[in-house]
Structure 1
Amino acid sequence: MTVEIDGEGLTAAQVVQVARASSEDAVLAAAARERLGRTRAYIESRWMHDEAPLMYGFNTGVGSFKDQRVLVADMEEYQSRLIRAHASGVGEPFEQDVVRATMMLRANAFAAGYSGPAVGVVDRLLAFLNERLHPVIPRKGSVGASGDLAPLAYLAAALGGFPEARIDYRGARQPAREAIAAAGLPVDFALVAKDASALLNGSTVSLALGVLAAHDARRVVQAADVALAMSLEAMRGELAAFHPAVHRARPHPGQRSTARNVLKMAGDSRRSTRPPTTR
């Protein structure tokens, strides 16, 4: 199955599918590709020349270098330096599903057409995803609301084929350039103006963790409902406690859902005391 991303309709369930199912791929929707191309063309015509007005992150440095122009001739080198400057994470690497969800979500964010990377950056992200090239990203280093700058720098470095980057591929951790070549993709990939800042800026790793955690939490809740119903059956529990009238008195939708689930599974039990039939 292939999931099409357009920057608008991606669901949490699709992210989980692509992150955890070995047969799932992702492609960029045609409309999103056109939108990306238009946005990029506007950026290049408006700001990518040395007489253009300064625009933060487009043709300037960042942070304390916000008023320093980056010349067009230096743009490619600047992307590399910006990524290396932020690749300061520590700790054990994220699991494969987190890395895959991150790549999926980053590509989807770009597909919306607001971040302005070259279309090739999105194609590269999806190629990594579909070829099962999983950049090694340390767990610690994000600054949270200001962006997952450090972890995303490791993703960007792998995409760019930096010699320092590492990729998990076919069960082995390898230098990025070796893994990319083994997958049949071009090893060298030039990141041009705006690409690095687009890749680094965003809380995409945090979002990936949240999506996967929420999915797992829902499954835990479902398992807990099953365990509760089985426990009531085993202990000859009182099913009257789960009658809808009891739970309408409390403003907790989750509690009502659990009560409905318990009655669906154990409501006809011959061991437990059945709930009253009146409303």
Structure 2
Amino acid sequence: MNLSLTGEQLTIEQIREFLADKGTVEISTDALERVKASRKIVERIINEQETIYGITTGFGLFSDVLIEETQYNQLQVNLIRSHACGVGTPFSQDVALVMMVLRLNTMLKGHSGVTTDLVEQLVFFINERIIPVIPGQGSLGASGDLAPLSHLALALIGEGRVYYKGTEQNSEDVLKQLNRQPHQLQAKEGLALINGTQAMTAQGVINYIEAESIAYQAEWIASLTHQALNGITDAYNENVHIVRNSEDQTAVAARMLDWLEGSGHTTRQGQVRVQDAYSLRCIPQIHGASFQVFRHVKEVLEKEMNAANDNPLIFDQGDETLVISGGNFHGQPVAFALDYLKLGISELANVSERRIERLVNPQLNGELPAFLSPEPGLQSGAMIMQYAAASLVSENKTLAHPASVDSIPSSANQEDHVSMGTIGSRHGYMMLENTRNVLAIECIIALQAVELKGADRLSPKTKEKFEEYRTFVPAITEDRQFHKDIKEVSDYLKKVAYKG
């Protein structure tokens, strides 16, 4: 896939396709002209020695310190070196790659004042898949994602570490291999690279892609459970959901009926019981609410992906130009959305674990063996898989605490309120991985349960899923190391996220 960047219309779906297809980026002609025009304004500021934050002055508390004209470029290099204070496990390579794409897209809006050389360096890194090693911790989510983006910038100037062709190397060494020069930072460019929300937004985009996918996967997994427990389909009747005025709830109900169409295991109300437990009966309400969350988060993320969020911002208004110090780097809107996303992810795991309990509990599972054990007593079967799911759900509850309610002043109280949005993005991904593992456990147990009930009576659509997953998840005929099954199913569910 060839992704044409304009600074205006980038979507999450385009990012998903770009990652899935190992695509390349190109710059639209209009966007490149905007970059050139904004750079001319920076050069005029330099020539006229105007007092403009981050171009002719220091940063943060040092914003009133004027810099000598001969040191403007060194100021930018010093900024990157001093701000590269990230620690901890690096962001995934996909997140770091998306970070570069988003930072480039912001520059193309024509408000950042960077050179075309910097734009071309970013394009080169993206298309050659030279991925900066970016530690995941250290950002406050205001004044931009300063520490993470500084590590990105270090790679561009040949001073950082990168992943290239499967190994971690020095950026300078990789550039030499490719006969490419490190970028020489010009006035304003260091600040333009790091004053932005691209770390939290990039991780948020990955969170969204995988969360939406796992929510769809949760429906057919729940449909297997529904059939194993002889669930009642009446609760999914569209009349029930239309009167709730929730398009997401109604859509989930319709998809559940579609998954269950033609099943010999489902029942009608009063046939076996009058009502199912909430974890079956309320799947449209619970899953639908998560989709509602995801729709809102997508809207926020796509606005931010196409936003000018560095500082200062440059505006060419024809007869005059404006260079304004503002606060678009503050991540609060994204931070709120990413914390909200965590709630939608969490509940998919919560309700899945309750369905798992119904499958393994002999008092609830409709005469299936306790823990679906092939030899109850001698063999434990799925007993501890439910323990693992319960542990993951409990961990999610602690991670769901909103990062955005916290703030610690920085830069000697010049930056006295911050968003902590990048923490929320990282915790969200941890929750997503936990949730995917919970659903993998439900999948393994539901496969076993429907096999015991009779896979030949499954609905045609879920029978296809049964046969697909049985190719790598064998039936439980004796106790084995189930952690291997859980990982294999979880990895498979993750891979599906990028297939559309």
TM, length-normalised to structure 1: 0.91
Q: Is the 8 A contact 1:131 1:183 kept in 2?
A: no
- Alpha-carbon deviation of 1:120? 1.5
- Alpha-carbon deviation of 1:65? 1.6
1:185–1:3 CA distance, 2 compared to 1 (3 A): same
Distance 1:71 1:21 in 2: 47
**Which residue pairs with 1:91 in the alignment?**
88
Q: Deviations over 1:195-234 (max 9, x none)?
A: 0000010010100000010110011100111112222233
**Which residue pairs with 2:36 in the alignment?**
37
Please show how residues 114-263 of structure 1 align to structure 2 within 5 Å: 114-162=111-159, 165-186=160-181, 188-263=182-257
Count of aligned pairs between the two proteins: 269
Distance 2:238 2:139 in 1: 45
Distance 2:258 2:29 in 1: 44
Q: Is the 8 A contact 2:41 2:113 kept in 1?
A: no
Give the 3-state SS of the residue equivalent to 2:89 in structure 1. Answer: strand
Moved more, 108-117 or 200-209: 108-117
Q: Is the 8 A contact 2:117 2:183 kept in 1?
A: no
Distance 1:145 1:249 in 2: 43
Code of the aligned partner of 1:180: L
Distance 1:152 1:67 in 2: 24
Distance 2:252 2:108 in 1: 38
Code of the aligned partner of 1:48: I
- Alpha-carbon deviation of 1:104? 0.6
User: Runs of 5+ in structure 1 lacking a partner?
Assistant: none
- Alpha-carbon deviation of 1:64? 1.9
Computed over aligned residues only, the root mean square deviation of the Cα atoms, in angstroms, reads 1.7
Give the 3-state SS of the residue equivalent to 2:142 in structure 1. Answer: helix
**Which residue pairs with 2:12 in the alignment?**
12
Distance 2:23 2:81 in 1: 31
Give the 3-state SS of the residue equivalent to 1:48 in structure 2. Answer: helix
Distance 2:5 2:183 in 1: 23
- Alpha-carbon deviation of 1:251? 4.2
Code of the aligned partner of 1:205: A
Q: Is the 8 A contact 1:3 1:26 kept in 2?
A: yes
Code of the aligned partner of 1:136: V
Distance 1:91 1:158 in 2: 18
Question: Higher Cα Rg: structure 1 or 2?
Answer: 2
Q: Deviations over 1:51-93 (max 9, x none)?
A: 4321111221111221222233112211110111111111111
Distance 2:20 2:67 in 1: 42
Give the 3-state SS of the residue equivalent to 2:121 in structure 1. Answer: helix
Q: Deviations over 1:114-163 (max 9, x none)?
A: 1221122121111101111011110101111331000000111110112x
Moved more, 98-107 or 240-249: 240-249
**Which residue pairs with 2:109 in the alignment?**
112
Q: Deviations over 1:8-65 (max 9, x none)?
A: 11111222333x33631111111100111111112212x112x432111122111122
User: Runs of 5+ in structure 2 lacking a partner?
Assistant: 270-500
Identity between Structure 1 and Structure 2 (%): 35
- Alpha-carbon deviation of 1:250? 2.4
Code of the aligned partner of 1:33: L
Q: Deviations over 1:166-202 (max 9, x none)?
A: 111111111110012223322x321100000000100
**Which residue pairs with 2:46 in the alignment?**
48
Code of the aligned partner of 1:198: A
Give the 3-state SS of the residue equivalent to 1:4 in structure 2. Answer: strand
Code of the aligned partner of 1:272: T
Distance 1:10 1:224 in 2: 28
**Which residue pairs with 1:2 in the alignment?**
2
Q: Is the 8 A contact 1:238 1:272 kept in 2?
A: yes
Distance 1:212 1:38 in 2: 33
Moved more, 225-234 or 59-68: 225-234
Q: Is the 8 A contact 1:148 1:203 kept in 2?
A: yes
Distance 2:12 2:153 in 1: 23
Q: Is the 8 A contact 1:5 1:28 kept in 2?
A: yes
Moved more, 266-275 or 134-143: 266-275
Distance 1:78 1:110 in 2: 20
Q: Does 1:65 align with 2:59?
A: no
TM, length-normalised to structure 2: 0.52
Code of the aligned partner of 2:247: P
Distance 2:89 2:132 in 1: 13
Distance 1:145 1:253 in 2: 35
Give the 3-state SS of the residue equivalent to 2:139 in structure 1. Answer: coil
